[in-house]
Chain A
């Protein structure tokens, strides 16, 4: 199949960037990224610089890939990462537009590759249970209702790809942050820090320059792991309640 690609090319964060057009021959059984691999092989042999894009596991779990394809992060197939998208979703003669995930909090590294370290910094500020290695009781001493565990798993499935941010009209990271707040907030292990966690992670999310949620649910529709905005509501609750109720920590100091 013959396709025409309109690809965002940008040398680095300070470069203005532009769209470039490539005519390319693809095969229906190829994955989308294999199609780009073959494009890059051709560009390389012509002495041109290949199109930079991130990918690693290519089985939809590492969250490294992510291209906005015809205006939709990860492309036209629902619940699918870019690496799991196949060319059979397109047809001969199609024009395909490829852009990076666009958000102020995700500076462009080059072409279609962006820097999502902001997500790591959000996790760093509370996306964990504070337990040190070795100080744990037997695993079965903490019973967890199956339904709570299943729901926590629904949230924990987040692969941190950033499609929620890319799809949101406001480049908001609420779905990503709420997935982690909910995953830990639903489990007994996460209770001791639940309120503080929501506060800290949301404040960090704001400081990173993500936009605000306007409840358009575009994130939910674009999430390759089908994480729902139900978790955003959950985070809203946790955040608002703990804003009002959480006590200031007293400087204690250890005993003699």
Chain B
């Protein structure tokens, strides 16, 4: 019998499918955050010059235990997602040491083949994003407690907006494959609904991407000011 150390958790987490399951589970949780974050962002469109948004921010900051709990939780999820991805990628690279001279693809989508590109790029962007809108270190005129103002000023710089839009395009691609991939890895696949699930995965990713991108576009179009 192949490798087994007797501890089922370790066996599971060392196995290919175990690590994939970890990727799926953390991915799904992070997706939940992405949806919640989007809901927060879309408050910008409430025409009250950011009053609702500010209220929401104040509410979050008023419960530091909850806020920091969530932040630490997210960080751990992200770390596990990233570390597992790296370990899988290393194994995948080792599994084909000599590449093909010519390789063509029949089915594999661009998004599915570039998860290890879109993923790291999103990660880099997240770091910048935190310095930009959370700590303010990368923001020209940061004012703690007024997210709407920070957002409008931040995105008024077209370069910043374009970088943001590009990052959200990456996120869209990542989700378009990732969402269906979560289902597949967790064993959800049946001819009755798999095709729908795959289309739904792309649709949700596009909606989320559009939602995020709508904010900087609105700022540039001077709809939000």
Contacts and interface: CB of A to CB of B under 8 A. Distances in A.
Please say whether the chains A and B touch (CB closer than 8 A). Answer: yes
Interface of A: 6, 8, 17, 19, 68, 70-72, 78, 97, 99, 102-105, 125, 167, 169-172, 174, 199-200, 202-207, 209-218, 220-222, 229-230, 232-237, 239-240, 243-244, 246
Interface centre among A174, A232, A236 (most CB of B within 10 A): A236
Given A102-B98, A169-B108, A171-B92, 12 more contacts: A68-B100, A104-B96, A202-B17, A211-B16, A212-B91, A213-B20, A215-B112, A216-B109, A220-B107, A233-B189, A239-B17, A240-B17
Chain A interface SS verdict (over half): mixed
A240 B21 contact: yes
A68 B100 CA distance: 9
Contact of B95 (A171, A200, A204): A171
A52 B186 CA distance: 42
B100 A71 contact: yes
Contacts of B95: 103-105, 170-172, 209-212
Contacts of B96: 102-104, 170-171, 211
Contacts of B223: none
A204 B3 CA distance: 7
A200 B15 CA distance: 11
B107 A218 contact: yes
A105 B18 CA distance: 20
B88 to A, nearest CB: 5
Contacts, number: 162
Interface string B73-114: 000000000000000100110111111111111111100110
Contacts of B109: 216
Interface residues of B, number: 50
Interface string B171-209: 000000100110111111111001000000000000000
A229 B180 CA distance: 12
A71 B16 contact: no
Interface of B: 1-4, 8, 11-12, 14-21, 88, 91-92, 94-109, 112-113, 115, 177, 180-181, 183-191, 194
B184 A215 contact: yes
A218 B181 CA distance: 13
B6 to A, nearest CB: 8
Contacts of A206: 2-3, 14-16
17 contacts: A6-B101, A8-B101, A71-B100, A71-B104, A72-B106, A78-B106, A99-B101, A103-B96, A171-B95, A202-B16, A204-B1, A211-B92, A218-B108, A221-B108, A234-B187, A234-B189, A239-B15
A98 to B, nearest CB: 10
